[in-house]
Amino acid sequence: MAELRYNPLTKDWVMIASHRQNRPQMPKDWCPFCPGSGKVPDDYIVYEYDNDFPALSPNPPEPDDVATDIYKVMPSYGKCEVILYSPNHTITLPELGVDHIKKLVDLWEERYIAIQKDENVKYIFIFENRGDVVGVTMPHPHGQIYGYPFIPKKIELELDSAKEHLEKTGNCLFCDMLKDEIKFEKRIIIENEDFITYLPFFCEYPYGVYIISKTHKQNLTQFSDKEKENLAKILKETTGMLDSLFDYKFPYMMCMYQNPVNVEEDVSEYYHFHIAFYPPMRSKEKQKFNASSETGAWAHCNPTAPEEKAIELREAHQRFLEKMAKGE
């Protein structure tokens, strides 16, 4: 079964994809993403691979006949792609060179351009799940891209808030938030010419950093080559910083937010490119669970102070820079 079902309580769509239950746990001595598997080229650097178990597809089956006046269904139309970061089975994002990560950014942009050509796709979501604790079944370094036929609720809420702020102030909400963070200084972690990594005032996770572009742009296609190189640099340093917190490969969910596509309203005045990290750990060995309040009420509780965690993150960033300088 693969279809979309509408939740009238939250006015959002749920992807029903029971076939994904059949996703295998890969044997330890074989990986479909490694050269020689027959599934991927033998000499790739970064590579797009169509998901073998997609929740959304360009040729979805007809939904089950279960709709009513209240309960709506529609085909699970869309796109699900896997983005392979490297042919190396064990290397991860912070261990890649900046030139290599720049090629990854270029591939993200290439796929964004290709997917948005489908007028039925309304939102393109680039993301990475890293670590067993967030449910990763394939250890080979990779991210994913979903092309949704709707705008997901979280993005819809961000768009509404940003539009309301523009109407009240004439300013971009994200630009104003960034100005506040720069003025306050204490939650800023990493900065280069074009991007800033910071721990937001409102962060829901102890180490839930954001990366945001300093200039008001909405998607990858608007960045120059220099900006994309600086995005590669800050991605390497941000993920390396997280790994340096406790000296192990830190699990996270990395989510890239860009403007919707193929919609009537132009959001360019009030939406702004950013990347959010949702790391599930609150200390070296303790996990921050999304429990009843977070899941049932969307009322988040961060058990730490962002200003204190920002100090930890800056120290971890310094350790990562020292490690890079030694060539480790």
CB 205 within 8 A of CB 260: no
Structure tokens at 80: 């699900």
Question: Does the active-site annotation cover 142?
Answer: yes
Q: Residues 89, 100, 140, 142: which is the catalytic one?
A: 142
In angstroms, the CA 282 to CA 279 distance is 8
CA separation for the pair 133, 135 (Å, rounded): 6
- The residues that are catalytic are 142
